[in-house]
Amino acid sequence: MLEVSGLTTVFDLASGPAAAVDDVSFEVRAGETLGLVGESGSGKSVTALSIMRLVQPPGRIAGGRVRFKGRELLTLSERDIRAIRGAEIALIFQEPMTALNPVFTIGDQIAEALLVHGKATRREAASKVVELLEAVRIPDAAARARDYPHQLSGGMRQRVLIAMAIACKPSLVIADEPTTALDVTIQAEMLDLLREMKAAFNLSLLLITHDLGVIAETADRVAVMYAGRIVEHGPVRAIFRDPQHPYTRGLLRSMPGAADRGRLRAIDGTVPVLGAFPPGCAFHPRCPDRFEPCSTTPPSELRVGDAHAARCYLNDPSQVASRASRGSDHASPTTGRQSRTDGAR
Amino acid sequence: MLWVGASIVTVAALAALVGPLVTPFDPANQQLALRLDGPSWTHLFGLDELGRDILARVLAGARISFLVGITVVSVSAVAGTLLGAVAGYFGGVLDDVISRAVDVLLAFPGLLLAIALVAVLGPSLGNVLFALTIIGWVGYARLVRGQVLRAREFEYVQAARALGAGALRVLWRHVIPTAVPTVVVQAALGMAGAIISEAALSFLGLGVQPPTPSWGTMLNGGRAHLLDAPHLTLFPGLAIALLVLGFNFVGDGLRDLADPKRG
Ligand SMILES: Nc1ncnc2c1ncn2[C@@H]1O[C@H](COP(=O)(O)OP(=O)(O)OP(=O)(O)O)[C@@H](O)[C@H]1O
Ligand code: SF4
Ligand SMILES: [Mg+2]
Distance from residue B244's CA to the centre of ligand 3 (Å) = 49
CA of A281, closest atom in ligand 2: 4
Residue type, B141: A
Q: Above 80 in pLDDT, residue A333?
A: no
Domain ranges of chain B: 2-7+44-258
Give the residue from chain B lying closest to A52, CA to CA.
B162
Question: Rounded CA gap, A191 and A306, in Å?
Answer: 28
- Does the Cβ of A46 fall within 6 Å of ligand 1? yes
CB-closest option in A56, A93, A117 to B164: A117
CATH T-level fold of A224-344: Rossmann fold (3.40.50)
> How many CB atoms lie under 10 A from the CB of residue B89?
22
DSSP string, A259-298: TTTT---PPSS-PPPTT-PPSSSTTGGG-TT--GGGGTSP
Domain ranges of chain A: 2-219, 224-344
In this prediction, residue A260 has a pLDDT band, given cuts at 50, 70 and 90, of: low
In this prediction, residue A337 has a pLDDT band, given cuts at 50, 70 and 90, of: very low
CB-closest option in A57, A90, A116 to B91: A57
Confidence (pLDDT) at A345? 37
The DSSP output letter for A118 is: T
Mean pLDDT score, A91-111: 91
Confidence (pLDDT) at A336? 38
In this prediction, residue A342 has a pLDDT band, given cuts at 50, 70 and 90, of: very low
- Would strands A172-176 and A204-209 be described as parallel, antiparallel, or unpaired? parallel
Strand-pairing partners, residue A47, are: none
Question: Rounded CA gap, B84 and B105, in Å?
Answer: 14
A222 at B interface, C-beta within 8 A: no
- Does the Cβ of A38 fall within 6 Å of ligand 1? yes
Helices (H), chain B: 2-22, 54-90, 92-107, 110-121, 125-151, 155-162, 167-169, 180-203, 215-222, 231-258
In this prediction, residue A258 has a pLDDT band, given cuts at 50, 70 and 90, of: low
Q: Above 60 in pLDDT, residue A344?
A: no
- Among residues B142, B121, B141, the alpha carbon closest in space to that of B130 is found at B121
Instruction: Output the pTM of the full model.
Output: 0.84
Q: Of A332 and A254, which is predicted with more confidence?
A: A254
Distance from residue A250's CA to the centre of ligand 3 (Å) = 20
Structural contact between residues A1 and A29, judged by C-beta atoms closer than 8 angstroms: yes
**Alpha carbon distances (Å) from B71 to A140, B19, B189:** 48, 21, 14
Residue-wise pLDDT for A34-68, tens only, equals 999 999 999 999 999 999 999 988 899 999 999 99
Confidence (pLDDT) at B262? 56
CB-closest option in B155, B159, B164 to A83: B164
CA of A228, closest atom in ligand 1: 14
CATH T-level fold of A2-219: Rossmann fold (3.40.50)
Q: Of A168 and A187, which is predicted with more confidence?
A: A168
Strand-pairing partners, residue A63, are: A8
Residue ranges of chain B whose pLDDT lies below 70:
260-263
Question: Rounded CA gap, B37 and B34, in Å?
Answer: 6
Question: Rounded CA gap, B175 and B185, in Å?
Answer: 18
Averaged pLDDT of chain A: 88
Highest mean pLDDT among A208-217, A270-279, B184-193: B184-193
CB neighbour burial string for A32-51, b if at least 16 within 10 angstroms, e if fewer: bbbbbbbbebbbbbbbbbbb
Tally C-beta pairs within 8 A across A and B: 62
Structural contact between residues A280 and A300, judged by C-beta atoms closer than 8 angstroms: no
User: Was domain B2-7+44-258 assigned CATH 3.90.120.10?
Assistant: no
